[in-house]
Structure 1
């Protein structure tokens, strides 16, 4: 059994020179043989005993052979140079044969990355509560790449996704499929999910290999809320109030409507392209708060005796709802009426009667 001196694996990008020191224990009069075991020829290609390495123009020996230095230099490393290299020293009358091996892995950066075959940054429509699997595929790398996932720039736990490595259609290369399983909620609407390729050839690179999608999560709106007045609050005649209907828009975007005693006073539909839109009447508007999809629609009210007991209702319509969601308030207005003469002569006694809405 020959003595074995193991040498760790070497990783090198293509087109780089490799200088590997072979065992210095070879004597000056001993023969040194280099053998390469490649993937397509596991039995090995013999480079030879001669130091100029005939048949391998990019290979040469370096070092002083008289001192037992036998270094193998490869210029312009290519993927074909990937494999195991053995230095074998023949036996002599007073020494047995020895050999050592070194593995050379030529780094090939991934060729592409994509999520589910979608374009980078493309929107993906899903329903809230429905299971979703995002498949990120990184192709044609050596050694096999790996993947990390992000949600809106925050790294996700690796336990949330599963990787499967498979052989590439291009020789000596590998691809990986990373599957991220989700149950999207309304909080995932408009959120970006991205995957990033991890590979030794990309380390230290100023650029990264990333693919992303933006989720469009279909979900109904929540119950609206009316701000600016509470039922039971007393308004004095002539007082002005702004009633604001605040509603979660949902996805698809909702329609908001104000009604007074069941009759529409104005309507507005959420438009993500605008931050604020004024209706033609000028009295109703909504404020599209980015990232929250909140609709604010305001109804201006002046307290008059006609507004006493008036019912104002805010309704929210959505394609995902069979019936609209609503909230309402009932106004209470206190007012008074003075009865008496319009003019009186000096020194006369007169009376004035005040009739109010108070019972």
Structure 2
């Protein structure tokens, strides 16, 4: 079409990444030789290649500028990268669709209060508490004994100050006739960033 201006042949799309991994958001505008600006949640990151030098050392603009490629490379993604990104061609007055980058964070290693050994007197019931902190999304916790998942645990989740990560606490109650000395009980915490889970184990010692 005669007189048509530059158009995007590649635009950023919604992506999900685990914290610490690199990610590249594409932006291609063939035939365009003006200024290109990337925005994160509406805030300018820098023009053309000048991104890492203006306070974003993990960010870089990569690709062949002669072909109109201005891809945004993010090294070692962090929680602050969980945002909307947009590519703008200033002189052409065009902007890409906003793309949501979702950053997942695995839980910290779970901790069972009182581990590694919990001592009881004969006839006492057992209360175990396990917490898995700083996860996005919140960690799910299961309790395992002898390869079997134990039921009846209580759960609570707390949203952290950053408004993104959550901590999970689970409490397991076992009656005296349901525990034996020397048993190992495992708390397993998992989320989308740690699908195989992380374990903490406690040994029951009945005096």
Q: What TM-score, normalized to structure 1?
A: 0.44
CA deviation profile, 1:60-85 (whole Å, cap 9, x unmatched): 1111234332211123x253643214
Partner Cα distance (1:9, 1:155) in 2: 33
Partner Cα distance (2:84, 2:31) in 1: 20
Residue from 170, 178, 181 that aligns with 1:178: 170
CA deviation profile, 1:300-331 (whole Å, cap 9, x unmatched): xxxxxxxxxxxxxxxxxxxxxxxxxxxxxxxx
RMSD: 3.6
What's the secondary structure of 2:14's corresponding residue? strand
Q: Specify the alignment match of 1:306 in structure 2.
A: none
Q: Is the Cα contact below 8 Å between 1:139 and 1:176 reproduced in 2?
A: yes
Partner Cα distance (1:65, 1:209) in 2: 48
Q: Is the Cα contact below 8 Å between 1:62 and 1:73 reproduced in 2?
A: yes
Q: Is the Cα contact below 8 Å between 1:146 and 1:197 reproduced in 2?
A: yes
Q: Is the Cα contact below 8 Å between 1:194 and 1:212 reproduced in 2?
A: yes
Q: Specify the alignment match of 1:151 in structure 2.
A: 145
Partner Cα distance (1:71, 1:125) in 2: 64
Once the two structures are superposed, the pairs formed by residues 183-202 of structure 1 within 5 Å of their partners are 184-190=175-181, 191-202=183-194
Q: Confirm whether residue 123 of structure 1 aligns to residue 119 of structure 2.
A: yes
Residue from 24, 48, 72 that aligns with 1:19: 24
What's the secondary structure of 1:165's corresponding residue? strand
Q: Confirm whether residue 166 of structure 1 aligns to residue 158 of structure 2.
A: yes
Distance of aligned partners of 1:120 and 1:193 in 2 relative to their CA distance in 1, 3 Å threshold = same
What's the secondary structure of 1:186's corresponding residue? helix
| Rg larger for | 1
Q: Is the Cα contact below 8 Å between 1:81 and 1:104 reproduced in 2?
A: no
Once the two structures are superposed, the pairs formed by residues 45-56 of structure 1 within 5 Å of their partners are 45-53=43-51, 54-55=53-54, 56=56
Q: Specify the alignment match of 1:209 in structure 2.
A: 199
Quick one: higher RCO (CA 8 Å, sep 6+), 1 or 2?
Answer: 2
Partner Cα distance (2:129, 2:24) in 1: 40
Deviation at 1:173, TM superposition (A): 4.2
What's the secondary structure of 2:114's corresponding residue? coil
Partner Cα distance (1:88, 1:201) in 2: 27
Structure 2 residue runs of 5 or longer lacking an equivalent are 1-10
Q: Specify the alignment match of 1:103 in structure 2.
A: 101
CA deviation profile, 1:31-76 (whole Å, cap 9, x unmatched): 4321123xxxxxx43112222324123321111234332211123x
Residue from 19, 24, 39 that aligns with 1:35: 39
Deviation at 1:195, TM superposition (A): 0.8
Aligned length: 194
Q: Specify the alignment match of 2:134 in structure 1.
A: 140
Deviation at 1:187, TM superposition (A): 4.3
What's the secondary structure of 2:111's corresponding residue? strand
Partner Cα distance (2:196, 2:140) in 1: 16
Deviation at 1:152, TM superposition (A): 2.6
Deviation at 1:133, TM superposition (A): 4.5
Q: What TM-score, normalized to structure 2?
A: 0.70
Q: Is the Cα contact below 8 Å between 2:35 and 2:47 reproduced in 1?
A: yes
Deviation at 1:172, TM superposition (A): 5.9
Q: Is the Cα contact below 8 Å between 1:113 and 1:211 reproduced in 2?
A: no
Partner Cα distance (2:48, 2:156) in 1: 45
